[in-house]
Amino acid sequence: MEMTGEQRIAAPRQRVWEALNDPEVLRACIPGCQSLEREGENGFIAVAEVKIGPIGARFKGNVTLNDLDPPNGYTIEGSGNGGVAGNAKGAAKVRLSDDAGGTLVSYNVDAQVGGRMAQLGGPIIDATAKQLAGKFFSRFGEIVSGDAAAAPAPAATEAPAATPVAAAAPVVAAAPAPFAIPAAPAPTRGAPWEWLVALGLAIIAGYMLGRSYIGEWWMVAVLITVIAAAGAGYSAGRRNGGWQ
């Protein structure tokens, strides 16, 4: 598979060159890259997950930078093994040139794949390679030109500024409703002692009435019962919200 392309980066050539040699920048730009560690002066060990068509695999391989010509370009060579998915190896010549205040990155890729991936056919492999290259240079351009710089997040202990609505919320919550009608107090039960006294007096009166064969004791008993019952009812009514 052979592929050529160009990408304009809005940054000076020296900055682009330094970024192309920075493992952290490369790791952030390579699609699916999980790790990229420097090995020796011009080598790296890379681990990346790549999906070509229906086949996805985790590749581990070596990357070497050759023919270094700072800040004009280099040749990057690599090989990786994706297990049962297959293997890949290839090289890319990268050239940098000034372009209207920015840098034009030109690349020429020559790669080969083997195993199950090779059975997918050239069109699928070519389309995937172009897609991966497009993602790499798009992200690379954002990082090098500074467009991907994000504003620092506020400290965890720092409370966000309150909006006018949020600031007024405590006041509104604390203020009473202008037309609120106070709830009527639940009626309290009168103390049961009035009825106990009335019951006791009624028992006494009944006893007296039962003993009064003659005389006026029965009249006294009836009068005591009526007075006790009336007094108990009146007291209980006042305690349960009667006349004030």
Give the model confidence (pLDDT) of 211-228 as tens digits: 554 455 545 555 666 566
Give the model confidence (pLDDT) of 191-213 as tens digits: 455 545 556 666 665 555 565 54
pLDDT higher at 207 or 73: 73
Which pLDDT value is given to residue 226? Answer: 58
Residue 230 has pLDDT above 70, yes or no: no
Give the model confidence (pLDDT) of 168-188 as tens digits: 333 333 333 333 334 444 444
> For residue 46, what pLDDT band results from cuts at 50, 70 and 90?
very high
Cα separation of 195 and 207, whole Å? 18
| 71 upstream amide cis, omega within 30 of 0 | yes
Task: Please compute, for residue 25, the number of CA atoms within 13 A of its CA located in the half-sphere on the CB side.
Answer: 19
DSSP 105-116: EEEEEEEEEEGG
Which CATH number among 3.40.309.10, 3.40.50.150, 3.40.980.10, 3.30.530.20 corresponds to the domain 2-145?
3.30.530.20
Cα separation of 165 and 168, whole Å? 5
Task: Tell me which H or E stretch contains 55.
Answer: strand 55-69
Residue 99 has pLDDT above 90, yes or no: yes
pLDDT higher at 61 or 181: 61
pTM: 0.57
Which pLDDT value is given to residue 76? Answer: 92
Judged by average pLDDT, the poorest of 23-37, 151-165, 180-194, 226-240 is: 151-165
Give the model confidence (pLDDT) of 129-149 as tens digits: 888 888 998 999 999 988 644
Residue 60 has pLDDT above 70, yes or no: yes
Residue 167 has pLDDT above 50, yes or no: no
Contact 38, 26 (CB under 8 A): no
